[in-house]
Chain A
Amino acid sequence: MAKILVFIESANNKIKKSSLELLSATTGNEVAAILIGDNVSTVAQGLKNYPVQKAFVFNNAALKDYNSSYYFSCFEQAIKKFSPDLVLASGSMAAKDLLPRVAAKFDGGIAGDCVGLKISGTKVEARRPLYSGKVLATAEFTDASKIKVVLMRPNQLPQPAEGASNCEITEETFTAPATKVRVKEVVKSSSAKPDLTEAGVIVSGGRGMKGPEHFKLLEDLAETIGATVGASRAVVDAGWVPHAMQVGQTGKTVAPNLYIAAGISGAIQHMAGMGSSKVIVAINKDPEAPIFKKATYGIVGDAFEILPKLKEEFSKLLSH
């Protein structure tokens, strides 16, 4: 049995789906959660529905936004109290920023962007794509790793089974450490959609969309099916949409249940970011487009004709 500290993150007063997923990999071990933020006490109560024995809750106005030195000091406090073998998190921007620092400070190794996890006793093995997804390999932690840190790619693990637990929730005191890094401002985006990295359904457009004005077609479809809109690099470089929407090697790595690619050729750098999507739909005028080699379903056709029809069909289906 391993002692596992799980980084539970919340958004809009709810535990994030990507954090909950982690709890399906930890059953049978001694599990503690760490929750950091402002007004997260009620969020912590939600853990009582899952197999978690303990929760360290850091609830402080100063912790509203992620700050690497503040969040590090919370982790330090929890790790000293709990002495975990493994620290487990979803690969959010906060976790990716912070947990390597935690690994280094506690004399441990780290495996980021994992798609599989095996915990037996205190032995930890994580499956990871390497070389833009061209290879899969297992990251094995050695005994020299005093603490093991694993970041999972979202949407890889099932949701955990619910059931009442006796999670012991403790409110920890947070004392702000002296810091040389300060968050001055968080500029929120207007979108209420889940981030691409966590989205279950993504509708993406490429250069075949011909211009920014036509992204409306993708947004309309996305609206109908509750999807997040993504894009290829070609359209980001052309300035049609912001970089935050880019999927691929120099954009975001995504793994939704459904990825719809419209007017995207399927360059290797694009596929590096979406190749592990469960179901891929490609809509492309060119029957030879490489995207069809990766796709589950392919439609040779004009995105301008297909997308509105698709929206129509989905609306019909989803309205009853």
Chain B
Amino acid sequence: MNILVCIKQVPDTETKIKLGGTGIDTAGIKWIMNPYDEFAVEEALKLKAAKPETQVHVLTVGPKARAVEALRTALAMGADEGAVIDAPETLDNYNIAKAIAAASKTLGEFGILLSGKSAIDDNNFSVGQMVAAFLDIPHVTSVSKADYTEKGALLEREIEGGAKEIIEVEFPAMITANKGLNTPRYASLPGIMKAKKKVIKELALTDCGVDVANIKVKYTNFELPSDRPPVQMISGEPQEQAQKLVQLLRQEAKVI
């Protein structure tokens, strides 16, 4: 059973974000593979290690010139083949998912589709489920533990208040990964060398039936959040500090 892993390239969290034009200024940004997608790639590689005939494909949608780097990282970790769907920075999640769903049918036959639970840049928590909807297959999100059988998987996901759901799903299915699922490996040097020879297919949005005129959500009015007022330091002995703080929380901030 072959596996498709959907990954996204995102700015590193430590990168300073500046505004430019009608969005963010992408010059000088350090790009990384979305951290949650690393869990998805690792999960696919774990399954491949258990069944070596498994082919692991990685797919990304984004500006081709830089987005291939995320694919190279996944290939260096051990994925077999990559594909990039060239798309503008501003493509919305509906159309990204639509493109992935269409591409997944031309790239092969996949029993398991994997992705991170959310991308840390737009934090939308949606592409995996939307891909599943377009393919009419079940999805399970935010999975932190998985046991696989021939036909499906038993998955654990965290829900509110520290509770957990144990879910049984039949393949083909889309699974989105949460922290805890595994520990992603680093790309080894031989891995990086091998990755250079691996195939990366290039697809256009039009090959995937996506028309950019059909964007459902566009982003406007970019703004840096206003600075919080400067901190009010509370001095004194611990007892005094505690007294003053409680007073301020009650009388000034009115939160207690």
Interface contact B216-A135, CB-CB below 8 Å: no
Interface positions of B from 126 to 170, Cβ below 8 Å from A: 126-130, 132-134, 137-142, 144, 152, 154, 157-170
Report A-chain residues with C-beta under 8 Å of the C-beta of B159. 66, 93-94, 186
How many contacting A-B pairs (Cβ < 8 A)? 275
Report A-chain residues with C-beta under 8 Å of the C-beta of B157. 93
Residue of B24, B98, B229 near A131 (CB, 8 A) is B24
Report A-chain residues with C-beta under 8 Å of the C-beta of B193. none
B168, closest chain A residue (CB): A182
Interface positions of A from 125 to 180, Cβ below 8 Å from B: 128-142, 144-145, 179-180
Known: A189-B161, A317-B246. A129 touches B123 (CB 8 A): yes
The answer to the question of B69 belonging to the interface, with a C-beta cut-off of 8 Å to chain A, is no
Residue of B94, B160, B219 near A93 (CB, 8 A) is B160
The answer to the question of B173 belonging to the interface, with a C-beta cut-off of 8 Å to chain A, is yes
The answer to the question of A312 belonging to the interface, with a C-beta cut-off of 8 Å to chain B, is yes
Report the separation of the CA atoms of residues A197 and B160 in the bound assembly, to the nearest whole angstrom.
8
CB distance from A153 to the nearest CB of B (A): 10
The answer to the question of A268 belonging to the interface, with a C-beta cut-off of 8 Å to chain B, is yes
The answer to the question of B106 belonging to the interface, with a C-beta cut-off of 8 Å to chain A, is no
Residue of A94, A142, A182, A310 near B167 (CB, 8 A) is A182
Interface contact A186-B165, CB-CB below 8 Å: yes
Report B-chain residues with C-beta under 8 Å of the C-beta of A294. 228, 231
Report B-chain residues with C-beta under 8 Å of the C-beta of A144. 213-216
Interface contact B120-A292, CB-CB below 8 Å: no
Interface size on A, residues (CB 8 A): 97
Known: A65-B165, A132-B13. A142 touches B138 (CB 8 A): no
Report the separation of the CA atoms of residues A257 and B255 in the bound assembly, to the nearest whole angstrom.
6
Known: A130-B121, A135-B223, A300-B233. A279 touches B249 (CB 8 A): yes
Q: Which 9 A-B pairs have the closest CB atoms?
A: A109-B216, A189-B162, A100-B126, A104-B133, A309-B242, A109-B217, A145-B216, A100-B129, A244-B162
Q: Name B residues whose Cβ lies closer than 8 Å to a Cβ of A.
A: 11, 13-14, 17, 19, 24, 35-36, 92-94, 97-98, 120-130, 132-134, 137-142, 144, 152, 154, 157-170, 173, 179-180, 213-225, 228-229, 231-235, 238-239, 241-243, 245-246, 248-250, 253, 255-256
